[in-house]
Amino acid sequence: MSFLLEPLQYAFMTRAFAASVIVGVLCAVMGTYVVLRGMAFLGDAMAHAILPGVAVAYILQGNLLLGALVAALVIAIGIGLLSRQGTIKEDTAIGILFAAALSLGVALISSMQSYAVDLGHILFGDVLGVSAADLILTAALAFVVLLTVILLYKPFVVISFDPVLAATMRLPADLLRLLMLVLLALTVVISLQTVGVGLAAAMLVTPAATAYLLTRRLLPMMLLAAVLGALSSVVGLYVSYYLNIVSGAAIVLAATLFFLLAWLFNARTGVLVRRRSPR
Amino acid sequence: MTIEQMPGERDRLEVQNASLGYGDKIVLHDLSFSVPHGARVAVVGPNGAGKSTLFKALVGLLPLRGGRIFVHGLPLGNHKDCVAYVPQREEVDWRFPVTVGDVVMMGRYDHQAWIRRVSQEDKKIVDRSLAQMGIAHLAQRSISELSGGEQQRVFLARALAQQPHILLMDEPFTGVDVPTQESTLSLLDDLQAEDVTAMIATHDLGIAMEKFDVMLLLNHRVIAFGPPAEVMQQQNVLQAFGSHLTVLPDGSMIIDEHGS
């Protein structure tokens, strides 16, 4: 028991647990759409594209989260606009903007003097350095994103599963897709603190993919992904605390372990269990 | 059941000089026809003649490049729950984690507030639609486990649940088993009894001539529109299918789209 309680006597550790559980849940819920709509590349690109925003915020001594948020929104809207008319394919638009933003970010950061330490934090997260103010901002943003996902559950399902049905229902599909990009951007920004730019995509994709292996309905998939995301964060932080590993990496490795277990033992694709029926 | 119109009411679906296409490319030129209440229209024509294009424009997926389309006398888009579309089966991702019941319930989303719980009435309509298509026993089944015919019935059940005034089906007789073809045809009878207008794109000219009141023969424009016997005259068919058509000595016609 003291093994589990020991880390919690430090205020920075309780903040770290709170922040990473929030991020785990939020990433997993948005990740469900990322997995189902094939947006993994987009999620990864979005995470890297945040870099210039963070760099500018750092130079201006502003809030890094806020800088990341602005950059992510610019990128999300840019991708939406570039690919809206169908002249440029979405993944091409993503490729162009993501590479440009990443280069801009690296250029800005390399112009600073003490970039080495801070770049490490940006790339792999700094969950132990989460301040009380950061935590409040994280919680507030997460609340907004989750509320939107809950309120727009039906239209999001329809545009993801059957765009033609969405058209017959006269849903504002372009607007909903753009909104989904913005929500994804917010999610990636929030996850910057715990797992960093480099690993944000993993938190989006891995818990949701694990849940996809274990259930065949959307709502249970979302809830299970959220539980797995939170669990990965907690397990990862304990591992990080006791083995002295970078926390972001430990969290992602925990999530990956859950995925491997699900892949090996689930009833449909599991290689270590016998199928129930020969279907 | 009368097919006559109420005094002062216009045809259900009126297309006036409509031009349709993707981007700058116009696929269908200057279409004009009007479909009365509860009619069953077979849309036929060679591959690439614009059948799917017409349907996509009618559901609002493609903007009009010219002309006008009216439903109940109002421009397209005013009746949001009026047109239902049964797409070709390849058009959705069948690995999506939803059950058969979930998909059919999507047909009711238009009648619900976005955050409201599903009402008893919605449930009843979904159950009835599933039963009507003979797939009530599959309601809890994941859509990834369905056969082609069952997939089609899921779409048909969803279209029923939408309670449309106009139902569009794209090639519902292609690549499905005989029981599904039969339940699709009996569905057409049920729809007509409920005064629903149905437009079906099909390659099967036999079914089109036998089961439909009206035929629309397309090849980038309207070649002919009217009762099947009139539409399927040799000169019309020749105009639509060209070299794919072979006329036998007894006057019967064979269309071979795979030949030259």
Of A193 and A116, the one with more pLDDT: A193
Residue A222 has pLDDT above 70, yes or no: yes
How far is the C-alpha of B27 from the C-alpha of B220, rounded, in Å?
Answer: 6
pTM given for the model? 0.83
Longest dimension (CA), chain A: 63
Mutation site, A150, A169, A221, interface B, largest B CB count within 10 A: A169
The predicted structure's pLDDT at residue B111? 77
Evaluate whether A39 touches A33 at the Cβ level (below 8 Å): yes
Percent of chain A beyond pLDDT 90? 38
The predicted structure's pLDDT at residue A107? 86
Helix ranges (H only) for chain B are 51-59, 100-106, 120-132, 148-161, 178-193, 205-211, 228-231, 234-241
Contact A150 B115 (CB under 8 A): yes
The Cα-based distances of A92 to A33, A132, B23 in angstroms read: 20, 39, 20
Q: Which residues of A touch B98 (CB under 8 A)?
A: 157, 161, 217-218
Domains by residue range for chain B, with CATH: 9-82+170-260 (3.40.50.300), 91-163 (no CATH)
The mean-pLDDT minimum among A34-43, A258-267, B110-119 falls in: B110-119
Contact B96 A161 (CB under 8 A): yes
Residues of chain B with pLDDT under 70: 1-11, 79-81, 114-115, 251, 257-260
Residue A106: phi and psi, rounded to 5, are -65, -40
Through-space distance between the first and last CA atoms of chain B, rounded to whole angstroms: 46
The predicted structure's pLDDT at residue B171? 87
The predicted structure's pLDDT at residue A32? 95
In the numeric block, which tokens belong to residue A38? 């094939």
Evaluate whether A190 touches A200 at the Cβ level (below 8 Å): no
Evaluate whether B215 touches B235 at the Cβ level (below 8 Å): no
Domains by residue range for chain A, with CATH: 2-265 (1.10.3470.10)
The predicted structure's pLDDT at residue B195? 86
The predicted structure's pLDDT at residue A115? 54
The predicted structure's pLDDT at residue A154? 92
The predicted structure's pLDDT at residue A126? 82
Contact B84 A153 (CB under 8 A): no
The mean-pLDDT minimum among A137-141, A248-252, B48-52 falls in: B48-52
Contact B61 A167 (CB under 8 A): yes
How far is the C-alpha of A205 from the C-alpha of A35, rounded, in Å?
Answer: 6
The predicted structure's pLDDT at residue B136? 94
In the numeric block, which tokens belong to residue A215? 């259930």
The predicted structure's pLDDT at residue B110? 79
A261 pLDDT tier (thresholds 50, 70, 90): very high
Mutation site, A37, A153, A165, A222, interface B, largest B CB count within 10 A: A165
Give the nearest chain A residue to B114 (CA atoms).
A154
Contact B91 A164 (CB under 8 A): yes
